[in-house]
Structure 1
Amino acid sequence: MPIGALNSSLTRKGYLSDEMAEIWGERETIARVVEVESALAAVQGELGIIPARFAAIIVEYAYMTDELVAKISAGKVGNPLVAALDAIRAQIPEEARGFVHYGATSQDILDTARARQILMGMGVLDEKLKELIGRLRQFAGEHAQTLMVARTNGQYALPTTLGMRFARWLRELQRAQARLAQTVERAAMIQFSGAAGTYAATGEQGVRVAQALAQRLGLTFEIVPWHASRDGITELCCNLAILGQSLAKIAEDLFAMQQSDMGEAHEQMDAHSSGSSAMPQKLNPFTTMKVSVNARLAAGLAATVLTAPPGTFERDHRQLEVERDALGQIFTHIDGALTKLLGLFSRLSFDVEKLRDGVKNGGELLMSESVMMVLAPRIGHEAAHDLIQEFAKAQRSEGISLAEYIGQRTDLALSDSAVADLQEALDPRSYLGLSVDIARGVAAGE
Structure 2
Amino acid sequence: MIARYSRHEMSGIWSEDNSFDLWLKVEIAASQAWTDQGVVPKSDMAKIRNAKFDRAAYDRLFEETKHDLVSFTQAMGESLGPERRWVHHGLTSNDVKDTALSMQLAQSCDLLDRVIVDLLNALRIRAIEFKHTPCIGRSHGIHAEPMSFGMKLALWFVEMKRNRARLAAARIRVAVGMLSGPVGTFASVPPVIEESVCEQLGLAPAEVSNQVIQRDRHAEYVQVLALVAATLEKIATEIRSLQRTEIREVEEPFAKPGYVTKGSSSMPHKRNPELTERICGLARLVRGHSVTALENVALWHERDISHSSAERMILPDASLALDYIMSLMTGIISDMVVHPDQMMRNLEATRGLVFSPRVMLLLVEKGVERTNAYDAVQRCSMRSWDEELDFRELVKTDPAVASKVSPQDLNDLFDY
> What's the counterpart of residue 244 of structure 1?
229
Residue 32 of structure 1, aligned match among 22, 28, 35:
22
Deviation of the 1:49 alpha carbon: 3.2
Alignment partner of 2:205 out of 221, 227, 250: 221
Contact 2:159 2:231 in 1 (8 A): yes
Displacement over 6 Å in runs of 4+? none
- Name the SS for the 1:249 alignment partner: helix
What is aligned with 1:188? 175
Q: Deviations over 1:8-46 (max 9, x none)?
A: xxxx32x22122122112222222111211222222222
1:315 to 295, 300, 303: 303
Q: Which amino acid in the other structure matches residue 56 of structure 1?
A: A
Alignment of 1:349-388 (within 5 A): 349-377=337-365, 378-388=367-377
Please tell me the residue identity of whatever aligns with 2:184: G
Q: TM-score, normalised by structure 1?
A: 0.87
Task: Tell me whether 262-271 or 314-323 shows the greater mean CA deviation.
Answer: 262-271
Query: Where does residue 295 of structure 1 map in the other structure?
Result: 283
Once residues 183 and 92 of structure 1 are traced to their aligned partners in structure 2, the CA distance between those partners, rounded to angstroms, is 38
Alignment CA distance shift 1:292-1:67 (3 Å): same
Q: Quick one: which amino acid aligns to residue 245 of structure 1?
A: A
5+ long unaligned stretches in structure 1: 1-5, 429-446
The DSSP-based 3-state class of the residue aligned with 1:160 is strand
Q: Deviations over 1:165-194 (max 9, x none)?
A: 110000110101101111111112101111
SS in 2 for 1:224: coil
Task: Quickly say closer, same or farther: Cα 1:230–1:361, change in 2 above 3 A.
Answer: same
Question: Matched residues in 2 for 1:380 and 1:211: separation?
Answer: 71
Structure ranking higher on relative contact order (CA contacts 8 Å, 6+ apart):
1
Q: How does 1:203-214 map to 2 (within 5 A)?
A: 206-214=190-198
The structure-2 alpha-carbon separation of the partners of 1:147 and 1:215, relative to structure 1 and needing over 3 Å to count, comes to same
CA contact (8 A) 1:263 1:354 kept: yes
Q: Partner of 2:87: helix, strand, or coil?
A: coil
Query: Counterparts in 2 of 1:64-79, with a 5 A limit?
Result: 64-67=53-56, 70-71=59-60, 74-79=62-67
Residue aligning to 1:149: 136
Residues 1:345 and 2:333 are matched in the alignment: yes
1:386 CA drift (Å): 2.1
In the aligned structure 1, how far is the partner of 2:376 from the partner of 2:405?
19
Contact in 2 for aligned 1:32/1:113 (Cα 8 Å): yes
Q: How many angstroms does 1:425 deviate by?
A: 1.6
8 Å CA contact 1:229, 1:311 repeated in 2: no
Contact kept, 8 Å, 1:148 with 1:160, in 2: the verdict is: yes
Q: Provide the aligned length of Structure 1 versus Structure 2.
A: 411
Separation (CA, whole Å) in 1 of partners of 2:283 and 2:196: 37
Deviation per CA, 1:375-394, whole angstroms, max 9, x where unpaired? 22321222222222221111
Determine the C-alpha separation between the residues in 2 that align with 1:65 and 1:263.
57
TM-superposed deviation, 1:411: 4.4
DSSP 3-state at the match of 2:399: coil
SS of 2:47's equivalent in the other structure is helix
* Counterpart contact for 2:132–2:150, Cα < 8 Å: yes
Name the amino acid aligned to 2:332: L
Tell me the TM-score normalized by structure 2.
0.93
How many Å separate the matches in 2 of 1:421 and 1:220? Answer: 66
Q: Does 1:234 align with 2:219?
A: yes
Is 342-351 or 104-113 further displaced after alignment?
342-351
Deviation digits for residues 117-150 of structure 1, max 9, x if unmatched? 1111111111110011011111111111011111
Give me the CA root mean square deviation: 2.1
Find the aligned partners of 1:160 and 1:120 in 2 and give their Cα distance.
Answer: 40
SS of the equivalent of 1:158 reads strand
SS at match of 2:351: helix
The percent of aligned pairs where both chains have the same amino acid is: 27
SS in 2 for 1:300: helix
* 1:384 aligned counterpart, secondary structure: helix
Task: Find out whether 1:164 has 2:164 as its counterpart.
Answer: no
Alpha-carbon distance in structure 2 between the residues aligned to 1:175 and 1:166? 15
Unpaired runs of at least 5, structure 2: none
